[in-house]
Structure 1
Amino acid sequence: MNWSKLLNANRFGQDTRQLDPVEIRSQFQRDYDRIIFAPAFRRLQNKTQVFPLPGSVYVHNRLTHSLEVASVGRSLGRKVANYLMSIDDGPSSHLLEELPTIVSTACLCHDMGNPPFGHSGEDALSRFFRDGKGQALKQEFDEQQWKDLTYFEGNANVLRLLTHQFKGRRKGGFVTTYATLASVIKYPYASTHSQGNKYGFFSTEQKNFQEVARQTGLNLQADGSFNRHPLVFLVEAADDISYLLMDMEDAHRLKILSYEEIIRYLAPFYEADESLKQKFEEVQKEVTDKNELISFLRASIINKLVNASADVFVENYDAIMNGTFQDPLYKHLPDYLRENMKRCKKVSVEKIYNHRSVVKIQLAGYHVLGTLLEEFVGAAMNPEASYSQQLLSLIPAQFEVREGDLYNRLRYVLDFISGMTDIYAVQLFRDIRGIDFEQWPV
C-alpha cells in the first residue's frame, strides 16, 4: 500500500471531482463537516452508549462518545503525520497534514450504523432471525444474506449508510472521499469470511466496498479478505481508549463505582510514571472535587495511551503498510498499560455492563426491537394486506420496503429500525401496541 492512493480525495459516487475555485476547505474537511451536519449523526444524541438516557446525571450517549473518540483520533492522526513527515514517507506534506482530519471524521462515523439500545440492540436484531420468528425464513436466502441477517453488524451498517443510494437521494450516499470511507471499514471482509459477527459490509454493499478498496489500493489477501487501511488502526485505538475510561467516569457519576474504587483501578496507569504521579498528588492538594480529580486522571491517562498507541503504530509501520500487522494497537502496548487496560475492561464487564440499570436497558431493547421487527418484517412479506399497508405507511419513502426481492425489503426494514433513536423506538412500540395512545375515542 502507498499513501498516494490511501489518501484518495476523490468522492464515492462522483465520476469527476467538482472543484470550487474559492473553496477554503480541503476535501477531507468537507467530509468532516458533512458528517457533523448529518441527521444520522445528530440522532446519536438519543442513542444509548451504556447507561439509560436521559437522567438527572448526564452520562455519555453515542453522540458525545463519538465526539470524544474523534478528539482522541485527531491526536493520534497528528502524531502519526508528524512521524511520516519526519521520515519523508508518503505524499507531500500538505496531504499528510490531513491525516488528523481523516481519522477524526472516521471516528465520527464509527457508531452511526449502531441501532438503538447500544450493543444489545445489535443482538436483538440478530436474534430475531437467528433464534426468533425470523428463523423460519432461512430457506429464502443464500449463505451470505442469511449471515448478514443473523449477525447484524453496526460497522457494516455504517458503510451502507454512507454509500447506499436510498430512494430520492443522490448517487453515492454521503459522497465522502475514498480515504475517509476506507478509514471507517474496520473489518475488510464479508460476513461469510467471519467466524462471528464482525465483518465490514453487507452483500448489498459488496461492490461498493470493492470500489473503495480499488480506489485506495487495499490489497486482496490469500484468504479472501483485504488489507486494512492503515488509519483504521488509529480509529480503532481512539475508540478503545475512549470507551474504557469514559464508562468508568460515568459509573462514578452514577454512584455505581466509588471514588476509592476508581482510584484503585486507575492508579496502576500512573504509578509507573513518577512525573504523572507527582502531578496528581499536587492537584489533589488544590482540588477537592472528586469528579474533577477523576477527570484530571482520565485526561492524563488518555494522553499517555495516545502517545503509547502512536508509538506502537510507528514501531510496526512497515508491517502495517504491507498488510501483515492485524492486531489492535493496544495488544502491543507496554505490558503495564496493556494489563491495566485488560483489568479495567474486566471491571467494566463485572460492575458496569452487568449493573441493574444497564441490564434493564438491554431487556427493553430486546423486547422493543423484537416486536418492531416482527411487525414490520411481517408487513414487508405481505405488503398487500390492509394492516401491512398501514404499518408500511409509517416507514419513510426512502426505504423501499414494497419493492425488490425479500432480502432487499428486509434490509430496508432494518435500515428503518436501526436508524431509530431509543426514544422513537419506544414510542413507536407503544403506539402500534396501543399502550400509550393519547387520542383514544371517547
Structure 2
Amino acid sequence: MLDPRLRSDPHQSRGRLHDEDDRGPRGPRDAFQRDRDRIIHSVAFRRLRHKTQVFVAPDGDHYRVRLTHSLEVAQIGRAMARTLGLNEDLTEALCLAHDLGHPPFGHAGEDALEEAVASAGGFDHNGHSLRILTLLECPYPGHDGLNLTWETLEGLAKHNGPVTAPGWALEEVDAAHGLELGSHASLEAQLAAIADDIAYDNHDVDDGLRAGILDLDALLEVPLVKRHWQAIEARHPGLDPDRKRAALTRDMIGTMVGDVLGETRARIAAAGVETVDEVRAAGKPLVGFSPQMAAEERALKKHLYANLYDSPPLQPIRRGAKQVVAGLAQALVERPELLPEGWVRGDSEQDRLRGIADYIAGMTDPFAISKHRKWVGPVEIDDRF
C-alpha cells in the first residue's frame, strides 16, 4: 500500500459550498460516502440506463449502456484504490459520476448539441456533469445541486488532468467552488480516469465482437489482443468462442490493472510525494500505464476507432442520432413554448439556448426519439444491435 498520507481523507475535506442542517437522520457515513450515495440516488444517474455507450438505444440487452459502463468503471476503480490504500468511496463516486453529463446518443449526440448551441458557448459533457451536480439536480430544500464535497467536484473537473481552457459551464462551477483547474487532481481522480479507459477499451471489444462488427482475425493483429488470445488458447485448448471472448476481456482488464498498479507505485516513489497536496503540485500525472502498455493501449484504441466507432455499420446510426438532437434543438428554438416550465434560463438568446441544451442533454435515447417524432417527424435509427 501507498503512504496513508496520499489517501484523500474525508475528515480533512475542504467541505461543501452550502452548510447543511444535519438534524435529520444521516446514518454512519462520512463525507465521501455521502457524495457517492447522492450520485447513485440522483435522477441523472438513473437516466444513464437508457443512454448510448456505443450502440444507440439498443434492443439487445447484452450490450453496455452508460449506466452499466459506469458501474464497471467503478468496480475497476474501487479495486485499484483498495489495493493502493487510497480512498475507495471517493474513487467510486468519481467513477459513477464521470458520464452524467452525456446527452442522448453519446458522442454523436454531443457533436450535434455542440453545434446547435455554439452561439451560446457550446456544449461539453464534462462541464455539463458538473452543472448537473451543482445546479440542475435539486433534491434538497436549501440549495440547488447535490452540494458535493470540494474533492469530488475537483476530481470530476480534472480527472483527465489540468484544464487550461474551460468551457463556460465549468468556468461557472469553478467560479463558485475554486477548483484550482490548473493543477492535477487527487490520486483517486487519476485512478477514476484510467479505470474509464480500461473499462471501455475492453468492454467495447466484447460488445463489438458480440455484435459482429469487429472481425476477430483483424483484431488479433493488435499485439495486446493477440498476446492474451494465444495465452488463453494455451491454457484452454478447444474452448468455445463465447467463453474465449469472455476470458479475453477478463484477462486484458487484469493485465492493464496490474500494469497501472506497478507503474503508479514507481511514479510515486520517483516523484517523492508524501501528501495529497504534493500530488496536486507534482506537475504530472502519477497514475498511468507503463510506456509499453501505453503504446499497446493506443494501438488497441486506434483499431477500435477505425473498425468499431467509425465503422460503416454505425455511421447511419450516428447520422440518425445527430438528426434527432439537431431537430429537437431547432424545434425548441422555433417553438419555445415546447420547453417545459423550469427549463427557461432567462430572456437572452444565450440563456434560452443554454436552457434548451440542459433539457436535451438530460433526455434518454428513447425519450429523445419519442419527442422528435412528436415535434418534428419520423426518424429512422437502426437499433438492430
Superposition RMSD in Å: 3.1
Letter in 2 for 1:323: A
Task: Indicate how the Cα distance of structure 1 residues 358 and 53 shifts in structure 2: closer, same or farther if over 3 A, else same.
Answer: same
Task: Indicate how the Cα distance of structure 1 residues 120 and 209 shifts in structure 2: closer, same or farther if over 3 A, else same.
Answer: farther
Letter in 2 for 1:202: L
TM-score normalised according to structure 1 size: 0.73
CA distance in 2, matches of 1:17, 1:419: 29
Letter in 2 for 1:427: S
| 3-state DSSP of counterpart to 1:316 | helix
Partner of 2:300: 344
| 3-state DSSP of counterpart to 2:213 | coil
What 5-or-longer segments of structure 1 have no aligned partner? 82-95, 131-137, 139-145, 380-387, 437-442
Name the count of aligned residue pairs: 365
CA distance in 2, matches of 1:78, 1:269: 28
Q: Does 1:105 align with 2:93?
A: yes
Letter in 2 for 1:426: I
Partner of 1:34: 38
Q: Does 1:400 align with 2:344?
A: yes
Paired residues of 1:45 and 1:63 also in contact (CA < 8 A): yes
- Cα shift readout 1:266-307 (whole Å, capped 9, x = no counterpart): 445548xxxx93x6622x23x733122121121122122112
Partner of 2:353: 410
Partner of 1:178: 150
Task: Indicate how the Cα distance of structure 1 residues 181 and 314 shifts in structure 2: closer, same or farther if over 3 A, else same.
Answer: same
Partner of 1:47: 51
| 3-state DSSP of counterpart to 1:202 | helix
Paired residues of 2:10 and 2:32 also in contact (CA < 8 A): no
Identity of aligned residues (%): 28
Q: CA deviation at 1:111?
A: 0.5
CA distance in 2, matches of 1:200, 1:292: 47
Q: Does 1:256 align with 2:213?
A: yes
Q: CA deviation at 1:406?
A: 3.7
CA distance in 2, matches of 1:57, 1:291: 16
Higher-Rg structure is 1
Partner of 1:89: none
**Correspondence 1:266-305 to 2 at 5 A:** 266-270=224-228, 277=231, 281-282=234-235, 284-285=236-237, 288-305=239-256
Q: Does 1:308 align with 2:281?
A: no
Q: CA deviation at 1:362?
A: 1.4
Letter in 2 for 1:370: A
Higher relative contact order (CA 8 A, sep 6+): 2
Task: Indicate how the Cα distance of structure 1 residues 226 and 423 shifts in structure 2: closer, same or farther if over 3 A, else same.
Answer: same
CA distance in 2, matches of 1:281, 1:176: 49
Q: CA deviation at 1:421?
A: 0.7
**Correspondence 1:171-250 to 2 at 5 A:** 171-186=143-158, 193-194=164-165, 201-210=169-178, 213=179, 218=180, 225-250=182-207
Which residue of 106, 127, 132 corresponds with 1:118?
A: 106
More displaced 10-residue stretch of structure 1: 294-303 or 260-269: 260-269
Which residue of 319, 322, 326 corresponds with 2:284?
A: 326
CA distance in 1, matches of 2:233, 2:343: 53
| 3-state DSSP of counterpart to 1:185 | helix
Paired residues of 1:230 and 1:321 also in contact (CA < 8 A): yes
